Structure 1
Amino acid sequence: MAQGEDIAYDFVLVILSVSLFILGIILFIICRKNPQKSDQKQEILPVKSCASTYQLTDIDAATDGFNHRRIVGKGRLGTVYSAISPRGELIAVKRIHPRLVLSNAGFGFASIMKTLSLAQHPHIVPIIGFSQAPGERIIVMEFVGMVSLDFYLHENPEGASLLDWNRRLRVAAGVARGIEYLHEGVAPNIIHGCIKASNILLDVKFVAKLCDYGLSFLAPEEKRGVVGYVDDEYWGERGGGACKESDVYGFGVVLLELLTGRRSEQGLLVRWALPLIKSKRFNELLDPRLVFPSDMKPFLRLAKVASACVGNYRKDRPSISQVASILNNLEVEVCH
């Protein structure tokens, strides 16, 4: 009897093992056919091809010899021209300042441009090509007929009224999503390096798009155009320079500009605004050119987010993902 019981016991074990194996195969097939719902909700962007290489002669022809009449913008890194590509498409051409080209002559410009050009998101301006020659570095971008946030807020007399409170909140949330994509959604991660109002473009529907991302390597030591948008640690000997935390600081300054309608003024805006936010004197903080929002709570929260971005040391600052999550919720609450 003992031998018969052993045989029966072994037989049951074999049957159980085979059953578990078959069950595992069935579960694997079901999972392959029915991926998790969270994966289905993720936005799938089409794969973007790497940046094209343009001959300098083609760029020269596209800009009519870098004609001054084609200039649509000037900045600390270079001059932007409207141009017609060899295929007849309207493009934007950024010609890097010669002095910056000379100081970065041995830097891997082509490889960096190819990496940056792979970034694709609704809230960044795509890089579609580049050109390089002795003394010349050119970046070719999509031309989307945009005007900078800086122009709307500070240069156009009617721009402030065009940017009502709802649009300002949409701009803030859109920029946060764009930075979040650069920091977390693309590999390798991209540090913008200089988040400021003039590097945020608005299209005809006031959709915000970031430009000049990943280009801080061209002018790592230059303060012109950066002071007021980077933290004190940016210039420190240890751990200084551009990083995710310095991008969050710059975004906080932009939030203060959206709330107050004031320029950064090389850091004066932060020093003026933080005490007002801390003491809840929001009637003095908000842009006087607009009627106060009917519901102040979302904008008070926006002010607190701005304070957290600019009022802390790097190690204590919120991540852009945390900031974007809050602003996305505020946008849904106010604008939908």
Structure 2
Amino acid sequence: MRESVEDALHHAVVAVAAAALVALAVALFLLWRKKRVARAGGGAGGDGDGAAVAVAMALPVIPLADVERATDGFHPSRVIGQGRHFTVYAAAPGLAAKRMRPHLVLGEPGGCRFPAAVRLLAVPPHPNLASIVGLSEGPGERVLIVERASAGSVGLDALLHGAGAPHDKPLLSWPERAAVSAGAARGLAHLHAHGVAHGRVWPRNVLVDAAAEARGPYGVRVSDYGLSTFLHDDGDADAGRLDARAENDVYMFGAVLLQLLTGRQWDGGRLAHWALPLIRAGPPALAEVLDERAGEPADKPESRLLARTARVALACVANDGRSRPRMAEVSAILDDVEAAYRRRNSSPEREVDGGGGEERFSGCLLGPSRSAHRSETLLRLPV
């Protein structure tokens, strides 16, 4: 009897010890994985379907003294841009230093959130993205180091609406507008694929190389992404996270597409109220939307390409965020449109499939003959 009790106690002790070892092993594994993710830069997470992946890189912290040397002590002669939040200085070749304005550094929450928030914006380089490549800080100073666009680059807003685009002589033809929209979509899709949303998809943040020969797939760069993560001026502390803002990026990219198609300004959404019913009606009503400065479509295949782009814009500005397409889907369609234009330009006969069939994605692409529920057509800015 005594031996059986001892055997039972022995087995119980062994079982407890084994359970403790298993628990310790699990705890050590979780701790190791947490440290590994932290070293990799802390990916922004995703929704489990591969739409977002952990960022396997970290932004370097550059000594402020090095930045000051590269900009000649932030000398006025080095200034290449001014904005509401930053002054931009030419730094090392191919790089620019975006110096946060003093009132944002000293106030809340820009200065305090800066280091941790900027590290969440690390993404691998991409030809259609003016990437953030480093950060620097010191007493009263917060600086972003970013890739610098080519010397001839200008904002899309200047090409469409500014002094650089007189009404009688547009700087962007329809093939060039197709290249701009496809390039911008690729840059945004790259951000979303790495768990970062832009937060400010406006024409002025789409940089276009003004040299005509450079307006190819890599002559367009999206800039100034993720600033809401630390500037916090739109009331959303998670403005740089994919799950909180990607659908709003899609909405505002649709606004950019409408401006490319019409040549008109967004004007608080009034452009969409005017253009979307005409896009839904299809030809010939669609012709009323197109920017006259870019000329009429050369033929029916080009008309189909423009109609295809217009339907993408329509899908992007659907009110229900869940019904909007993903940027990867938008990018794939606009890549096809851009490729069709390249084939047109390289083919003397200009025989090309104009993409007359309707693409379907996220249940939201409305063809000209389909009715739309009012909840999808009543437009407002995303909240």
- Taking structure 1 as the reference length, what is the TM-score of the superposition? 0.72
Give the superposition deviation at 1:106: 6.6
Task: Give the structure 1 partner of residue 291 of structure 2.
Answer: 287
Task: Give the structure 1 partner of residue 327 of structure 2.
Answer: 320
Q: Does residue 311 in structure 1 map to residue 318 in structure 2? A: yes
Give the superposition deviation at 1:248: 0.1
Task: Give the structure 2 partner of residue 7 of structure 1.
Answer: none
Aligned pair in 2 of structure 1 residues 289, 324: CA closer, same or farther (>3 Å)? same
* Alpha carbons 2:87, 2:101 under 8 Å: kept: yes
Equivalent position to 2:263, from 244, 261, 278: 261
Equivalent position to 2:135, from 130, 137, 142: 130
Q: Does residue 60 in structure 1 map to residue 68 in structure 2? A: yes
Task: Give the structure 2 partner of residue 200 of structure 1.
Answer: 206
**Alpha-carbon distance in 2 for matches of 1:135, 1:175:** 34
Task: Give the structure 1 partner of residue 108 of structure 2.
Answer: 103
* Alpha carbons 2:158, 2:204 under 8 Å: kept: yes
Give the superposition deviation at 1:70: 3.1
* Alpha carbons 1:100, 1:218 under 8 Å: kept: no
**Alpha-carbon distance in 2 for matches of 1:296, 1:247:** 27
**Alpha-carbon distance in 2 for matches of 1:124, 1:157:** 23
Task: Give the structure 1 partner of residue 95 of structure 2.
Answer: 91
* Alpha carbons 1:70, 1:81 under 8 Å: kept: yes
**Alpha-carbon distance in 2 for matches of 1:212, 1:157:** 22
**Alpha-carbon distance in 1 for matches of 2:158, 2:117:** 29
**Alpha-carbon distance in 1 for matches of 2:256, 2:231:** 21
What is the DSSP-based 3-state SS (H/G/I as helix, E as strand, rest coil) of the residue aligned with 1:103?
Answer: coil
Give the superposition deviation at 1:321: 1.8
Q: Judge which range, 299-308 or 61-70, deviates more.
A: 61-70
RMSD: 2.8
* Alpha carbons 1:193, 1:242 under 8 Å: kept: no
Q: Deviations over 1:258-295 (max 9, x none)?
A: 11111222222222222222233222211121211212
Matches within 5 A, 1:129-168: 129-145=134-150, 146-158=153-165, 161-168=170-177
**Alpha-carbon distance in 1 for matches of 2:188, 2:110:** 28
**Alpha-carbon distance in 1 for matches of 2:234, 2:84:** 9
What is the DSSP-based 3-state SS (H/G/I as helix, E as strand, rest coil) of the residue aligned with 2:188?
Answer: helix
Q: Deviations over 1:112-171 (max 9, x none)?
A: 434423431111112222111233211111223222111211214447633111011011
Task: Give the structure 2 partner of residue 70 of structure 1.
Answer: 78
Aligned pair in 2 of structure 1 residues 221, 158: CA closer, same or farther (>3 Å)? closer
Identify unmatched segments of 5+ residues in structure 2.
Answer: 1-54, 238-242, 344-383
Give the superposition deviation at 1:249: 0.4
Task: Give the structure 1 partner of residue 118 of structure 2.
Answer: 113
**Alpha-carbon distance in 1 for matches of 2:86, 2:111:** 19
**Alpha-carbon distance in 1 for matches of 2:272, 2:112:** 35
Aligned pair in 2 of structure 1 residues 73, 272: CA closer, same or farther (>3 Å)? farther
- Taking structure 2 as the reference length, what is the TM-score of the superposition? 0.63
> How many residues in Structure 1 have an aligned counterpart in Structure 2?
269
Identify unmatched segments of 5+ residues in structure 1.
Answer: 1-46, 224-233, 236-240
* Alpha carbons 2:278, 2:286 under 8 Å: kept: yes
Question: Partner letter of residue 248 of structure 2?
Answer: S
Q: Judge which range, 105-114 or 199-208, deviates more.
A: 105-114
What is the DSSP-based 3-state SS (H/G/I as helix, E as strand, rest coil) of the residue aligned with 2:197?
Answer: coil
